[in-house]
Amino acid sequence: MMGPVALSYRSVRALLVLSFILCVVSVAICAGAEQVPAKTPLGGGKKKLLLFAKNPATWSIVKGGAGGKLVYGETTGAFTLNAAKLRPRSAYALVRYADVPPRVDIVARGESDRRGNLELRGVWRNWTKKFWVVPAEDVAGKNGEAGSLRAWRPDRYLFEEKQLGVPCDCPEPEEP
């Protein structure tokens, strides 16, 4: 039989362990760009944003250049990015740029395969402004956090066809 002090000690210890577990789970859930299992549905309000290699002198799309498609669920925040014709076996970051140089939000990071294809999945909530795919060495910071561009090499980036959250009368562009 246990005395009241032993029971109290065990209860406090159990509450501390439970509190720690809840804190860890809360941090994991609240991370900016959580990893999403491959079969997670994008949910309602599915939107698409095409990304292109652009000529920095004219900002016109490079015909036959690298490109990608970002599909995201407005209500769930879940997204998938598929890009092709990137440098093989190279690290990249999907970033959100809000016109405050050199600040960016790092949405996700990953590495292209041996053919230069890149696939990123995750959850992101702020679907406004500009989204770019940049070489990972050009951006400092962690997934889901504010970071900064440490280099400006636009000839290596993929840029959005239009800024998100801004009305556009532009026709739907052809996919890369």
Three-state SS annotation for 126-138: CCCEEEEEEEHHH
At 45 the pLDDT is: 74
* Same structural domain, 56 and 115: yes
* Same structural domain, 144 and 92: yes
Task: Look at residue 25 and tell me whether its pLDDT is greater than 50.
Answer: no
* Same structural domain, 89 and 18: no
Average the pLDDT over each of 34-38, 43-47, 109-113 and give the range with the smallest value: 34-38
* Same structural domain, 26 and 51: no
Higher pLDDT, 30 or 51: 51
Question: 139 lies in a domain?
Answer: yes
pLDDT confidence tier of residue 10, bands split at 50, 70 and 90: low
* Same structural domain, 54 and 13: no
State pTM to two decimals: 0.71
List the beta bridge partners of residue 52. 67, 159
H or E element that contains 139: strand 139-140
At 44 the pLDDT is: 59
* Same structural domain, 6 and 56: no
Q: How many domains does the chain fold into?
A: 2
Q: Which amino acid is at 8?
A: S
Tell me which residue range forms the domain holding 13.
1-30
